[in-house]
Structure 1
Amino acid sequence: MLLSCNFYGKTFPLTKLKEEKYINETIFIPNGEKQNITVGFSKKDFKNHKGVSGLKYYLVIMYLRKHLQTFGEVYLTLNNLLEECGYSTRSHNKSIYSDFREIIKTELINNGYVTCNVDIFTINPTEMFSLQLSEKKNIFYTKDNFVQFSISEYEKISNSNSKINKSVLVGVYLFIKQYIMDYPSDTISPPRISFPSKQQIKKGIGISSFTTIENAISLLAEMKMIYIRTDMFVENTEEENIYVPTRNVFALDVEELNGDAILIELERIYGKKVYNRNDVPGKVRYLEKQKG
């Protein structure tokens, strides 16, 4: 049986459709709506998807959400998937294709979230195929919805002009974002901030290099996806009257970093008074840069 799909009244056999030009014509989401279209990821997702390869899971899911059609179908080529997620298809790096093929097969098909009309491990990267999403199991929604990731956020990361692996950027961003509580806008609430240490981020997403984590944080800040406050100090536990920097404080809105309420939040962590830089009552000593 020859499978086919319809584009603007014209029917094409899936085995004949090549490249991404057909895909781009099928879906249009206004930019103003992209921030409102999200996928909820769970605590289990954070536990199961780590490392450069595992973190690509988030990119695959967001690609499917962005290109989802009315009846739960997604048409794609592997090349289009890789390129939209920020990976080159010109390097002939088979391991990159392998990561995406494996995620589609083991995470989506084998778990009953989608069915596929081809063998995902043998299909040519330029050949179009379809994924049919299950009506019973929703890959875009989890019971705890621990953190929301929007199409707008996904596009900012996948379109970023950086040598940093896009899956790492996604991992760092979602790890920071997962701890930022989203309180109702009409209520008095604590600052919408988070303060995971670099060691926690490194371990949480399964990346071995502190430098990679630091570079990812810097890039996310340059892109204004996160905002960072670093001018707070706490007394060193080993030396009296010596004050060292606290961990970074992150926010999605720069206004959340204003005021002294953040100092109170940090004091709960350290169990002692935290000071702004200009209020430090002793000598400031900066910590040595971590390696790894």
Structure 2
Amino acid sequence: MKGAIEIDTYIYLSEKDKQITSVGFSKKEIKNHKGISGLKYYLIILYLRKHVQTFGQITLTLNDLLQEFGYSTKTNNKSIYSDFREIIKTEIINKGYASCNKDIFIIKPNDLFHLQMSYENNIFFTEDNFVQITIFEYENICSISSKINKSVLLGIYLYIKQFIMDYSGDITPAKISFPSKLQIAKGLDISVQTVESGLLVLESNKLIYIRRDMFVENKKEEGIYVPTRNVYALDPKELEGKSVLIELERIYGKRIYNKEDVPGEIRYLTKSKGE
């Protein structure tokens, strides 16, 4: 058909390749892309990485994006596409990471459009590849059945993973992270309640693992022990044993106890407003 876009042969990724094919996000990107709208940035970049064709070409529709992310496309609400159009235009096209054969703001949801990714200005690999997200991880998050926005789930996952360092050598610390829920909420510009809901979804789908019920002596009351922050890992084996306690002791400057070993009274702290 005259004027139709010719689609090149796709480079389909094997299941093995999906576990090693990734996008590197920088500290600056994590700082700049937050909030319900801004977190969609990560989904879009990972979608492009997954679907890039021979010679850096990607052919798609807006509905392709929404369907992969779990959004319903059976709606007359055109505003649902606004964030995706804006991110593709301002963060990808305007910054020279790709060129587009059509005006992204006027194409219809089912219209094919064509992105040509730049070789010189590669959006998938920044100089500061602070945290890597694989296509395997991205697909697992997109496949979750949940009312929580996939961009929020990916944002929480990415925020936790950025603190899990990949050490080399024979003796390495546990690959864990322990940001507080309030820290995650502020970092992503979402509510603590949304963080809590997202953590439960990620945990129930075995994308993250959480160790709770660890206690530290209250600074103000001797003999009173309060819960520490949660500890997160991507592999449940990392949460076993005393290594987690040792890592937390470096943070608190005090001995950390499992619940059954607490040598005093346990007291659960009441939540302050906004926490």
* Counterpart position of 1:87: 71
With structure 1 as the length reference, what TM-score do the two structures score?
Answer: 0.90
Matched letter for residue 232 of structure 2? F
The farther-off stretch of 96-105 and 28-37 is: 28-37
Native 8 Å contact 1:211 1:291 kept in 2 = no
Native 8 Å contact 1:179 1:194 kept in 2 = yes
How far the C-alpha of 1:144 sits from its partner, in A, is 1.6
Cα distance in 1, alignment partners of residues 75 and 107 from structure 2: 18
- Matched-pair identity in %: 62
**Aligned: 1:239 with 2:217:** no
Q: Where do 5+ consecutive residues of structure 1 fail to align?
A: 9-25
Instruction: Provide the secondary structure at the position in 2 that maps to 1:106.
Output: helix
Cα distance in 2, alignment partners of residues 140 and 199 from structure 1: 29
For 2:120, which of 121, 131, 136 is the aligned residue?
136
The farther-off stretch of 30-39 and 118-127 is: 30-39
With structure 2 as the length reference, what TM-score do the two structures score?
Answer: 0.95
Q: For 1:187-198, what aligned pairs fall within 5 Å after superposition?
A: 187-198=170-181
* Counterpart position of 2:250: 268
For 2:264, which of 268, 277, 282 is the aligned residue?
282
Cα distance in 1, alignment partners of residues 202 and 255 from structure 2: 29
Native 8 Å contact 1:210 1:290 kept in 2 = no
Question: Could you list the per-position Cα deviations for residues 96-134 of structure 1 after superposition, in whole angstroms to 9, with x for gaps in the alignment?
Answer: 200000000000000000000000000011010100001
Cα distance in 2, alignment partners of residues 213 and 6 from structure 1: 40
- The change in CA–CA distance for 1:7 and 1:113 in structure 2 (over 3 A counts) is closer
* Counterpart position of 2:5: 4
Question: Could you list the per-position Cα deviations for residues 209-254 of structure 1 after superposition, in whole angstroms to 9, with x for gaps in the alignment?
Answer: 2221001011111111111100210011222211011000001111
* Counterpart position of 1:205: 188
Number of matched residues?
A: 273
Cα distance in 1, alignment partners of residues 160 and 260 from structure 2: 27
Q: Where do 5+ consecutive residues of structure 2 fail to align?
A: none
Cα distance in 2, alignment partners of residues 167 and 61 from structure 1: 12
Instruction: Provide the secondary structure at the position in 1 that maps to 2:85.
Output: helix
Cα distance in 1, alignment partners of residues 5 and 261 from structure 2: 69
How far the C-alpha of 1:35 sits from its partner, in A, is 1.0
For 1:174, which of 138, 158, 162 is the aligned residue?
158
* Counterpart position of 1:56: 40
**Aligned: 1:71 with 2:71:** no
- The change in CA–CA distance for 1:69 and 1:7 in structure 2 (over 3 A counts) is closer
